[in-house]
């Protein structure tokens, strides 16, 4: 199971890197065409925006899994050291509820906009909301694991 999960997260890292590389090439090419030849790639702005949405939402799940999100824990660790495990579980519960709302809202938006086709790219506009579905689901799974196995991050670091 760990091999499958590691493969999945490595695939997400590769996907994020690929999307970023495509965005850089697309935007650079469009700038050169626009200022050098007075033309451009019409769909590049929309594709770059779609790529950015996917990078941000997938990146949020990746960073959450790694425990690299910004956290201010000095206050709770200094004044309430015995309550830290309970506070951490409450935080993960809040993350679970928030990501569940993201997931449900993104599913509704994906379904509602799947038939709306962009005139520039020919792609469904629901692809923007689909990033929220995937990210919300990943964050839900991460928070469930962290609620029930709080030392999971330390175990992952020892395995790698």
Q: Are 62 and 156 in contact (CB under 8 A)?
A: no
* CA distances for 40 relative to 11, 75, 117, angstroms: 32, 52, 21
Burial of 123 (0-12, 13-18, 19+ CB in 10 A): middle
- pLDDT for 117 beyond 50: yes
Closest Cα partner for 126 from 106, 146, 144, 143? 106
The residues pairing with 117 across neighbouring beta strands, listed in sequence order, are 124
Q: Are 29 and 44 in contact (CB under 8 A)?
A: yes
Q: Are 129 and 110 in contact (CB under 8 A)?
A: yes
- Express each pLDDT in 29-54 by its tens digit: 999 988 888 888 888 889 999 999 99
Q: What is the band of 152 on the pLDDT scale with cuts at 50, 70, 90?
A: low
- The reported pLDDT for the residue numbered 17 is 96
Q: What is the band of 150 on the pLDDT scale with cuts at 50, 70, 90?
A: low
């Amino acid at each position: 199971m760990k091999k499958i999960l590691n493969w999945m997260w490595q695939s997400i890292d590769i996907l994020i890197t690929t999307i970023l590389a495509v965005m850089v090439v697309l935007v650079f090419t469009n700038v050169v065409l626009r200022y050098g030849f007075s033309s451009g790639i019409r769909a590049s702005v929309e594709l770059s925006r779609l790529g950015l949405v996917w990078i941000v939402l997938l990146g949020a799940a990746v960073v959450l899994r790694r425990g690299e999100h910004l956290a201010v824990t000095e206050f709770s660790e200094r004044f309430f050291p015995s309550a830290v495990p309970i506070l951490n579980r409450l935080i993960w519960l809040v993350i679970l509820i928030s990501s569940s709302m993201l997931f449900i809202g993104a599913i509704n938006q994906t379904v509602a906009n799947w038939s709306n086709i962009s005139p520039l790219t020919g792609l469904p506009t629901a692809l923007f909301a689909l990033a929220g579905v995937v990210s919300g689901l990943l964050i839900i799974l991460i928070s469930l694991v962290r609620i029930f196995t709080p030392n999971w991050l330390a175990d992952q670091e020892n395995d790698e």
